[in-house]
Amino acid sequence: MTKKDYAAIAGVMARAGSYASDSGERMIVRNIVIALARQFAEDDPRFDHGAFYRACRVTDGQGNVILASNELIR
């Protein structure tokens, strides 16, 4: 896959997250983003998890982007 493909998928996931109406739905979107990132990293060792999470806008509800390891990116 190309960077353009990753960006397109991140855009779709960001929109999906913006439609989530409660914490349960946001958790589902977050889990899908994490699963996608893990798969992308297996396919491309240079894949940047942090950039993908930021582009997907997966947050903790306070604007902090959540990493798969439960760390935060500000």
Using one digit for the tens of pLDDT, what is the confidence trace for 22-55? Answer: 888 988 998 899 899 999 999 999 999 889 988 9
Tally of CA atoms within 13 A in the half-sphere of 32 that contains its CB: 15
Q: For residue 66, what pLDDT is reported?
A: 67
In the chain, the number of structural domains is 1
Give the residue numbers spanning the domain of 21.
3-73
Q: Model's pTM, two decimal places?
A: 0.79
Q: For residue 15, what pLDDT is reported?
A: 93
Q: For residue 60, what pLDDT is reported?
A: 67
Concatenated DSSP letters for 24-55? HHHHHHHHHHHHHHHHHHHH-TT--HHHHHHH
Q: For residue 20, what pLDDT is reported?
A: 87
Using DSSP's 3-state secondary structure scheme, residue 72 falls into strand
